[in-house]
Structure 1
Amino acid sequence: MKVAVLGVGGVGQVFAAEMAKADYLDQLLLGDIETNKAEKLAKKLQHQTKADILVKEIDASSVRMMAEAFKNIDAVLHAGLPAFNLKVMEACLQTKTNYIDMACHTTKELKEQLNWDKKYKEAGILGILGLGCDPGFSNIAARYAVDQLDTVDMISIRDGDNSKIDYDGFCSLFSPQIAIQECLAKPNYWTSEKGEATFPASFWNKEKLEFPEPIGLLDAYNVEHEEVVTLGETIGKPKGCKYVEFKYVLNPDFVNTVKAIGYLGLDSNKTIDVKGVNICPRDVVVAMMPKPDELAGKIHGYSCIGAFVKGTKNDRNKEFYVYTIANHDEVYKKTGFQATVWQTGIPPAVAVDLLAEGRLKEKGCIPPELIEPKPFLKRLKERGMNWDIIEKTAPQATKAV
């Protein structure tokens, strides 16, 4: 099987390292507009696989360049900026190559990507939209929980991290562009009555949520996220789900800094003239931040992502929290990566495993929850990404006679 990863940052490196372990791999293409990291990674991985590892300069803004690179490639992971998703999808459509990404540019654009379903089906290829950890594992965890229930009341995706970072400044454990953009957006939620809707302002509905030990209680906020766009309609509504949300743990320093960035207009991606030079304010902020892969070994604590689902089973109230938890220090010691990028890079590798084995036969453009969860979760553990379930059962309240 021939596989390509476009964007060789932290997550792209994790994915490539996982692909190098696969016996079915014949060729791995590392594509990026800057090839320094890709060249170093290729030299490292070539000693670990019999497959050919190629490095190619690829500009994700050029459909022509990507289509030329993707000829005879079976699957592409787009691990670059989500702003280029549709262009990469177009290149994959031209070459009839299966496509995977891990995040959307905007929730509006995610809906546009989903609308390519017919075109991808006609081409006989699969596009998986948002298959990282969250979105991605979180969607599949929600599907697993929903499948165990007779009825569903609510789905809450919960992302918590209690880490301390050896860095004196503003940073993000994943793409800074995405972190700033999604945290300043009005948070989305879904109800059976309204469909997708938004809260009035960013950093909404602060509340303490309890995560598995050793994380414990942390402050979480509603944040705009991909899962909310699809989960209610695909797997929630058929079982009576009334509400879907995404909750994200954010520490006070991060919240205050992102608010300041928003107040100053430094989150804008529109160019402005500064003393005769055209610059993008958000690019300046991001340039002053460390890249997520540069934080490897400097993060100490735990990262936990999962789906909390409430409903009923056999006329009893039932709650599931299906989650994955990782220790940053342990992951770094074992893999050389920090836990957040590692957790994001493993799920797309599992999807390629299932494609290679002919066990992922869907065509068209789908969100991750439409993947059969049990085979996926089984393979996830085989690749070293453990997950677990907290399950609670209680009698339903009865009316007084």
Structure 2
Amino acid sequence: MRAIVIGVGGVGQVVASELVKGNYLKKLVLADIFTDHANELAKEYQKKTNAEIIIKQVNASSLKEVESALQGVDVVIHSGLPDNNFTVMEACINTRTNYIDMAAASPEGLKEQLSWNDRFRQAGILGIMGLGCDPGFANIAARYGVDELDTVESISIRDGDNSKVDYDGFCAYFSPQTAIEECLAKPNYWTHKKGIQYYSTPFANKDEFEFPEPIGWMDCYNVEHEEPVTIGDTIGRQKGCKYVDFKYALHPDFVNTLQVLSYLGLDSREEINVKGSTVAPIDVVVKTMPKPADLAGKIHGYSAIGALVTGTKDGKKKELFIYTMANHDEVYQHSGFQATVWQTGVPPVAAVDMMAAGLLRETGCIPPELIEPAPILERIKARGMDWDIIEKTAPIYKAKNEELTNA
């Protein structure tokens, strides 16, 4: 298997560090617009593999540069900005290279990516859209839960983190630009009658959700995300699912900071002139924030991501929460990464494991929930990312006579 990682930031480093553990790896290309750090990483990774490791300077927004980098490669893991997804996808079609990314630029962007299904099939390649942790593991967890039930009422994706960070300023544990933009966008959700809908304002519909210990109860907000775009239609509707959403546990300070940024217009991509220089306000904000990779070893606490699937099994009400949990300090000790980027980087490598084993032969563009859950969950666990299930059951109260039925 010959692989290329485009975007060697925090998540890309996790992907590369996991790929070199695979005996099937013959060639690994580390591609980024800045190559200094990639060169350092290559020296470290070369000690762990007999595969050839190559560094290439690539601007992921340049179709020509990406196509050149993909020559002689079987699969690309795009861990750079979602803004460049379509450029990389176009290059994959032209070079007949399989494609995996970890996030879309927006719900509409994900729909557009999936609409390339026929083009990918004609090229004889597979594209997996949004295979990180959430989206990614969360979709697969939802599929696992749906498969376990006879009927499904709702699918709720939940992301909670109770950690503290040794940093005094504003920061995000994953791509700062993505974190700002998705949290300040109008949150989306899905219903069986109307499909994708949106709340009118960010940080909508706050409630408390009980994550497994030691995280416990946390305030969660509806946030724009990829999972509701697909899982209602792909795996939910066939079993009667009526509602799908995504909620993110956010600290009040984080919410307040984002609201101030929005109020001041500092989340805008529209370029402005500042003392003779043209800049986008959001780029200035992101530049002042630490890179997620630089927070490794500075975050202390737990991160949990999972899917709460409610429905029935054998005539009884059932709730399944299928989740993964990681301790930031423990992850740092065994991998050198903070838990959030590590949890995002492991699932796409598990998919590459399946490709190498001949277990992912499909062509076209698919969301993660269309991957058979058992084989990929097995490989995710084999790479150290454990997962578990919390189950609650209760009887369904059925009407016992016509009067109750008509009540």
Map Cα deviations across residues 231-283 of structure 1 (whole Å, 9 max, x no partner).
Answer: 00100111110000001000000000001111111001111111221001000
2:404 aligned residue: none
Q: Measure the CA separation in 1 of the matches of 2:65 and 2:165.
A: 39
Letter in 2 for 1:280: A
Distance 2:77 2:262 in 1: 31
Task: Please show how residues 146-161 of structure 1 align to structure 2 within 5 Å.
Answer: 146-161=146-161
What does 1:56-67 correspond to in 2, within 5 Å? Answer: 56-67=56-67
CA–CA distance in 2 between the matches of 1:43 and 1:165? 30
Structure 2 SS opposite 1:127: strand
For residues 186-265 of structure 1, the aligned pairs below 5 Å read 186-265=186-265
Q: Distance in 2 between matches of 1:382 and 1:212?
A: 22
Alpha-carbon distance in structure 2 between the residues aligned to 1:37 and 1:268:
29
> Quick one: distance in 2 between partners of 1:7 and 1:374?
29
TM-score, normalised by the number of residues in structure 1: 0.99
> Which whole-Å CA distance do the structure 2 matches of 1:48 and 1:277 have between them?
45
Hey, which bits of structure 1, 4+ residues long, moved more than 2 A? 398-401
Secondary structure of 1:42's counterpart equals helix
TM-fit CA distance, 1:106: 1.2
Runs of 5+ unmatched residues, structure 2: 402-407
Aligned to 2:405: none
Segments of 5+ residues of structure 1 without an aligned counterpart are none
How far apart in 1 are the matches of 2:147 and 2:361?
A: 20
Deviations 1:30-59 (A, max 9, x none): 000000111110010001100011000001
Give the secondary-structure state (helix, strand or coil) at the position aligned to 1:110.
Answer: helix
Structure 2 residue aligned with 1:361: 361
Distance in 2 of aligned mates of 1:210 and 1:287: 35
- 1:267 maps to 2:267: yes
Q: How does 1:87-106 map to 2 (within 5 A)?
A: 87-106=87-106
How many Å separate the matches in 2 of 1:313 and 1:160?
28
1:304 aligns with 2:304: yes
2:6 corresponding residue in structure 1: 6
- 2:344 aligns to what SS in structure 1? helix
1:190-237 residue CA offsets vs partner (Å, 9 max, x unmatched): 000110000111000111100000000000000010001000010011
5 Å matches for 1:6-25?
6-25=6-25
Distance in structure 2 (CA, Å) of the matches to 1:162 and 1:198: 27
Equivalent residue runs for 1:76-95 within 5 Å: 76-95=76-95
Match for residue 326 of structure 2? 326
Aligned residues: 401
Name the CA distance, whole Å, in 2 between partners of 1:272 and 1:330.
43
- Inter-partner Cα distance in structure 2 for 1:69 and 1:86: 16
In structure 1, give the amino acid aligned to 2:296: A
Distance 2:219 2:254 in 1: 12
**C-alpha displacement of 1:399:** 2.9
**Deviation (angstroms), 1:63:** 0.6
Report the equivalent of 1:121.
Answer: 121
Shifted more, 271-280 versus 303-312: the winner is 271-280
Between the aligned partners of 2:288 and 2:121, the Cα distance in structure 1 is 43
Give the distance between the partners of 2:64 and 2:356, measured in 1 at CA: 27
Helix, strand or coil: the match of 1:237? helix
**Aligned equivalents of 2:50 and 2:400: distance in 1?**
70
> For 1:298 and 1:29, how far apart are their aligned partners in 2?
29
- Which residue of structure 2 lines up, in the alignment, with residue 337 of structure 1? 337
Q: Distance in 1 between matches of 2:398 and 2:110?
A: 42
Deviation at 1:398, TM superposition (A): 2.6
**SS of 1:144's equivalent?**
helix
CA distance in 2, matches of 1:385, 1:355: 19
Other structure's SS at 1:340 match: helix
* 2:185 aligned residue: 185
Q: Which amino acid is 1:161 matched to?
A: D
* Match in the other structure for 2:112: 112
User: Equivalents in 2 of 1:110, 1:377: separation in Å?
Assistant: 23
Q: TM-score, normalised by structure 2?
A: 0.98
Tell me, yes or no, if structure 1 residue 136 matches structure 2 residue 136.
yes
Say if 2:288 is the partner of 1:288. Answer: yes
Look up the SS of the partner of 1:318 in the other structure. strand
Amino acid at match of 2:355: L
CA RMSD of aligned residues (A): 0.7
Post-superposition offset of 1:400? 5.8
Distance 1:349 1:376 in 2: 10
Cα shift readout 1:70-98 (whole Å, capped 9, x = no counterpart): 01100000000000000000001110000
The SS at the match of 1:156 is: strand
Aligned AA (2:331): V
Amino acid aligned to 1:3:
A
Whole-Å separation in 2 of the counterparts to 1:5 and 1:65? 14
Rounded to whole Å, the distance in 2 between the matches of 1:168 and 1:246 is: 28
Structure 2: how far apart are the matches of 1:307 and 1:12? Answer: 25
CA distance in 2, matches of 1:47, 1:142: 38
**Counterpart position of 1:176:** 176
In the alignment, the residues of structure 2 paired with residue 166 and residue 249 of structure 1 have an alpha-carbon distance, to the nearest angstrom, of 19
